[in-house]
């Protein structure tokens, strides 16, 4: 491409043509001159500084023609299509001067701010100022001026960081600026001599589409811009951004002009950036943690799918990218929002700070939140929030803590039991040994043996065997081997028997019995049910150290027989009632020193009652006595009773 020149193709003899090329370069909106050839400065007389000032165009051009110039300027800057127009300008002395101006784009831009070259011809010169003689320049002067201006023009084009070019309509280069050698490494003459130079040196992957695209745009006389690769002389690929204008005549493309700018570095940077972004995206999406990144003014800059899933965030809400809205939505799901909120505020107030918190959700989940600042260089530009579901770990931790507590409790109970059991088993042995020694002494000395010593020894033996039986029953229950008989049992008769036996051993205690209004038959193990009643009565006696009446009531309650044993003894602390029927449990107001016992009786009672299909519970108030109740299903029809050999509710 030849640099735009003052065209003298159609000289009009009627007009006075200035032989030296008058050129300016300018651009922007509103247009402004950036460079003006000395010849033009001289022709119109305005000082160079005036040309450079903003708004000089409107001072220079006659107001009636200003509109036309600005319109043409904008169109050429946008489309790259050159235009020529005539207009009146004002010389420095204020005389109107007719000018012909050819506008061409150096670099068209869609917004009309691109750089233009204006080539000016003076059609009617200003009258020389009064008293100054106008002498026409000599041929030599004119030639010098032309050469000088042309050189400047070439320097200007070569200084442009890109290949300025011009081709004919067949893409054969007619001009290429010197930068071509630097950028692609081929000597300029190759560009100009080889008619297929451009096509040949297009990168094979871009050749087809780039040439087709350029050809189509040229055919349609459309200015265009595109990026493609050319293969440089050293074999490397060079990315070029080519900005092309089409010079046409009557809709037929004649020439193409443009600038190829080397954008390899930008392309590489862009590719690197895309690679980094895609890597980050993939990392973000494949992590098991929910991640969201917020700017300091709460805009969402990144978020992953896991975050959305963890908090069940609707797509529409996420699209809003408003961190405050999301935060509200998340807060509503939290159980401990009130505790977490101040922590969040604290983190937001100190951008440098990192923090870990555990969020408890209303649906039972635990989420660990980790937060750290997002930095750009040294500046904190936002905050990264990471969320991890730690429900399973939390539950496992709670479970292992519970097991540890239970194990410790079990060890404590075992140790207590060993000390209680040894104490309890040893207690009857001392009196038993004493009674036996008395008996032996008497027998050795031929004295009569008093029956009370034998009875007392037998009482201690009974106590020992009771303790041992309780231990054996407990281990049978534990092993699921406590066997129960299964036969019709009259509850009234059973109670009578038990009370009669008890009265015989505790004649001084007051025992009252309230019988049922009707005979009550139940199905079960007579001996074991008697054991339950004996245990409750013995406890009632034992835990009423100051005496008081023990009341037994048997009644019918719907389909159940209800047995109640009341005393007016020490009672049971409210918080201990639930544990009373557990193995080895003894209420804290029943110290071993005051009341013997292994804490097994009620445990055995509960097992027996429940295996009969009943229930056992206690009502009590400390210091005011206790009432133990148990129920058993009434046998309505004796004939329907299960044969005795069938075991009851085996566990
Ligand atoms: P123990 O052999 O210790 O009496 P039990 O299993 O029969 O074992 O009773 C468990 C605990 O329940 C007792 O240690 C005592 O603390 C409490 N208890 C049982 N019956 C009564 C009652 N009638 N009055 C007050 N406390 C009772």
Structure confidence by residue, pLDDT tens digits, 332-391: 999 999 999 999 989 888 889 999 999 999 999 999 999 999 998 889 999 999 999 999
Q: How far is the CA of 296 from the centre of ligand 1 (A)?
A: 66
| Pair of tokens at residue 537 | 């009565």
Average pLDDT, the chain: 88
The minimum-distance atom of ligand 1 relative to the CA of 625 is 24
- CA 203 to ligand 1 centroid distance, Å: 98
Q: How far is the CA of 546 from the centre of ligand 1 (A)?
A: 16
Atom of ligand 1 nearest to the CA of 587: 16
pLDDT score at 10? 39
- Please report the pLDDT score of residue 648 as a whole number: 60
Task: Read off the tokens for 85.
Answer: 């127009």
pLDDT at 126 over 60: no
Q: How far is the CA of 150 from the centre of ligand 1 (A)?
A: 120
Q: Which residue has the tokens 């992953």?
A: 304
Segment among 132-136, 215-219, 395-399, 484-488 with least mean pLDDT: 132-136
Q: For a substitution probing ligand 1, which of 467, 543, 569, 621 has the most ligand atoms within 8 Å of its CB?
A: 543
Angle in degrees, 0-180, between the axes of helices 601-611 and 526-542, rounded to the nearest 10: 140
In this structure, what token pair is assigned to residue 516?
A: 């049922």
Give the model's pLDDT for residue 12: 37
Residue 571 neighbours by CB under 8 Å, 6+ apart: 589, 620, 621, 622, 623, 624, 625, 626
Q: Which atom of ligand 1 is nearest to the CA of 599?
A: 8
CA of 434 to the centre of ligand 1 (A): 29
Instruction: Specify the range with the lowest mean pLDDT, choosing from 87-101, 174-188, 298-312, 492-506.
Output: 87-101
Name residues contacting ligand 1 (CB within 6 A). Answer: 535, 539-540, 543, 567, 569-572, 580, 585-587, 590, 597-603, 626
pLDDT band at 59 (very low <50, low <70, confident <90, very high): confident
Q: Residue 643 has what pLDDT?
A: 55
pLDDT (0 to 100) of residue 136:
57
Phi, psi of 610 (to 5 degrees): -65, -35
Q: What is the pLDDT of residue 14?
A: 34
Confidence at residue 590, expressed as pLDDT on a 0 to 100 scale? 82
| Better pLDDT: 174 or 148 | 174
Residue nearest to atom 13 of ligand 1 (CA): 586
The per-residue pLDDT for 128 is 52
> pLDDT for 617-635, tens place per residue?
999 999 999 999 999 999 9
Q: What is the pLDDT of residues 248-301, one digit of tens each?
A: 888 899 999 999 999 999 999 999 999 998 998 899 888 989 999 999 899 999
356 contacts: CB under 8 Å, gap ≥ 6: 368, 369, 370, 371
Instruction: Examine the pLDDT at 552 and tell me if it is beyond 80.
Output: yes
Alpha helices, H only, 61-138? 63-79
Q: Give CA torsion, residues 58, 61, 67, 70, to 10 deg.
A: -70
Give the residue whose CA is nearest to atom 25 of ligand 1. 571
Q: Report the pLDDT averaged over residues 47-75.
A: 87
Residue pLDDT, tens place only, 495-520: 999 999 999 988 999 999 999 999 99
Confidence of residue 544 (pLDDT cuts 50, 70, 90): very high
362 Cα to the center of ligand 1, angstroms: 42
Q: Which atom of ligand 1 is nearest to the CA of 570?
A: 25
Over range 1-10, report the average pLDDT: 39
* Helix, strand or coil, per DSSP, at residue 187: coil
Q: From residue 15, give the alpha-carbon distance in Å to each of 11, 22, 99.
A: 8, 16, 10
Average pLDDT over residues 526-530: 96
3-class DSSP state for residue 534? helix
Separation of CA 212 and ligand 1 centre (Å):
102
d(CA 516, CA 39): 136
- Extended beta strands in 331-485, E state: 355-360, 366-376, 379-389
What DSSP string describes 238-272? Answer: EEEEEEEEEEEETTEEEEEEEEEEE-HHHHHHHHH
Residue, of 207 and 116, whose pLDDT is higher: 207
Q: Which two tokens stand for residue 491?
A: 């509850």
| Confidence at 3, pLDDT banded by 50, 70, 90 | very low
Ligand 1 centroid to Cα of residue 589, in Å, is: 10
Question: Using N-to-C axis directions, what is the helix angle for 429-444 and 451-479, rounded to 10°?
Answer: 140
b/e map of 300-324 (b: 16 or more CB within 10 Å)?
A: bebbbebbbebbebeeeebeeeebe
Calpha distance 282→299 (Å, rounded): 22
Residues 494 and 216: their CA atoms lie apart, in Å, by: 114
Q: Find the 587 Cα to ligand 1 centroid distance in Å.
A: 7
CA of 600 to the centre of ligand 1 (A): 9
**How many Å apart are CA 167 and CA 272, to the nearest integer?**
34
- Residues 24 and 648: their CA atoms lie apart, in Å, by 116
Closest protein CA for atom 19 of ligand 1? 539
Residue 9 in this model has a pLDDT that exceeds 80: no
**Residues 41/120, Cβ–Cβ less than 8 Å:** no
Q: Is the pLDDT of residue 98 over 70?
A: yes
Percent of the chain with pLDDT over 90: 57
Q: Is the pLDDT of residue 108 over 50?
A: yes
Residue 240 banded pLDDT, cuts 50, 70, 90: very high
What is the distance in A from the centroid of ligand 1 to the CA of 439?
35
Of ligand 1's listed atoms, the one at least distance from the Cα of 602 is 6
Q: Is 60 exceeded by the pLDDT of residue 130? A: no
Which pLDDT tens digit goes with each residue over 400-438?
999 999 999 888 878 888 888 888 888 889 999 999 999
- Closest approach atom of ligand 1 to CA 544: 24
**Contacts for 477-481 with beta carbons within 8 Å, 24 or more apart?**
477/603, 477/604, 477/607, 477/651, 480/650, 480/651
Q: What is the pLDDT of residue 641?
A: 55
State the pLDDT confidence band at 1, using cuts at 50, 70 and 90.
very low
Among 425, 597, 607, the mutation site with the greatest number of ligand 1 atoms within 8 A of its Cβ is: 597
Q: Whose CA is nearest to atom 21 of ligand 1?
A: 539
CB 55 within 8 A of CB 33: no
Identify the pLDDT of residue 111. 80
Q: Is the pLDDT of residue 27 over 50?
A: yes
């Amino acid at each position: 491409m030849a640099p735009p020149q003052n065209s003298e193709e159609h000289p009009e003899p009627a007009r006075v043509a200035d032989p030296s090329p008058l050129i300016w370069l300018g651009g922007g909106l509103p247009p402004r001159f950036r460079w003006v050839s000395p010849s033009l400065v001289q022709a119109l007389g305005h000082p160079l500084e005036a040309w450079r000032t903003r708004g000089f165009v409107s001072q220079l051009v006659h107001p009636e023609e200003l509109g036309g110039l600005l319109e043409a300027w904008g169109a050429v800057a946008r489309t790259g299509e050159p235009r020529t127009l005539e207009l009146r300008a004002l010389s420095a002395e204020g005389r109107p001067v007719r000018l012909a101006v050819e506008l061409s784009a150096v670099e068209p831009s869609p917004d009309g701010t691109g750089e233009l070259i204006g080539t000016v011809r003076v059609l009617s010169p200003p009258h020389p100022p009064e008293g100054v003689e106008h002498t026409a320049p000599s041929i030599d002067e004119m030639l010098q001026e032309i050469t000088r201006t042309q050189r400047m023009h070439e320097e200007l084009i070569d200084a442009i960081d890109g290949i300025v070019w011009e081709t004919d309509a067949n893409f054969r280069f007619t001009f290429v600026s010197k930068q071509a050698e630097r950028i692609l490494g081929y000597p300029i003459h190759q560009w100009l001599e080889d008619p297929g130079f451009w096509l040949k040196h297009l990168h094979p992957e871009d050749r087809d589409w780039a040439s087709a695209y350029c050809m189509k745009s040229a055919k349609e006389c459309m200015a265009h811009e595109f990026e493609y690769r050319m293969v440089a002389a050293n074999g490397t690929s060079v990315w070029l951004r080519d900005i092309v204008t089409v010079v046409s005549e009557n809709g037929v493309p004649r020439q193409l002009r443009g600038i190829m700018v080397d954008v390899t570095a930008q392309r590489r940077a862009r590719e690197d950036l895309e690679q980094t972004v895609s890597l980050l995206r993939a990392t973000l999406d494949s992590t098991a943690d929910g991640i969201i990144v917020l700017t300091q003014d709460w805009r969402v800059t990144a978020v992953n799918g896991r975050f959305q899933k963890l908090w069940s965030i609707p797509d529409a809400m996420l699209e809003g990218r408003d961190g405050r809205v999301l935060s509200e939505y998340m807060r509503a799901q939290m159980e401990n929002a009130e505790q977490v909120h101040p922590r969040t505020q604290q983190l937001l107030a100190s951008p440098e700070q990192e923090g870990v918190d555990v969020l408890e959700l209303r649906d039972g989940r635990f989420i660990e939140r980790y937060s750290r600042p997002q930095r750009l260089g040294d500046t904190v530009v936002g905050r990264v929030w990471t969320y991890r579901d730690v429900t399973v770990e939390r539950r496992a931790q709670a479970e292992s803590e519970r097991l540890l507590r239970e194990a410790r409790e079990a060890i404590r109970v075992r140790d207590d039991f060993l000390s209680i059991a040894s104490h309890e088993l040893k207690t009857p042995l001392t009196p038993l040994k004493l009674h036996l020694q008395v008996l032996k002494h008497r027998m050795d000395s031929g004295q009569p043996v008093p029956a009370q010593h034998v009875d007392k020894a037998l009482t201690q033996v009974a106590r020992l065997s009771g303790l041992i039986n309780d231990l054996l029953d407990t281990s049978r229950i534990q092993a699921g081997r406590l066997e129960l008989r299964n036969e019709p049992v009259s509850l009234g008769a059973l109670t009578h028997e038990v009370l009669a036996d008890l009265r015989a051993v505790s004649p001084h205690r007051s025992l009252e019995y309230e019988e049922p209004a009707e005979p009550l038959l139940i199905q079960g193990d007579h001996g074991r049910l008697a054991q339950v009643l004996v245990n409750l009565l013995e406890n009632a006696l034992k835990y009423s150290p100051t005496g008081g009446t023990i009341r037994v009531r048997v009644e019918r309650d719907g389909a159940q027989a209800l047995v109640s044993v009341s005393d007016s003894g020490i009672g049971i602390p409210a918080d201990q009632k639930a544990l009373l029927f557990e193995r080895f449990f003894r209420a804290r107001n029943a110290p071993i020193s005051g009341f013997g016992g292994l804490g097994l009786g009620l445990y055995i009672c509960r097992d027996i009652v429940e295996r009969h299909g009943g229930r056992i519970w206690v009502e009590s108030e400390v210091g005011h006595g206790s009432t133990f109740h148990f129920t058993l299903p009434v046998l309505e029809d004796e004939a329907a009773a299960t044969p005795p050999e069938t075991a009851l509710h085996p566990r």
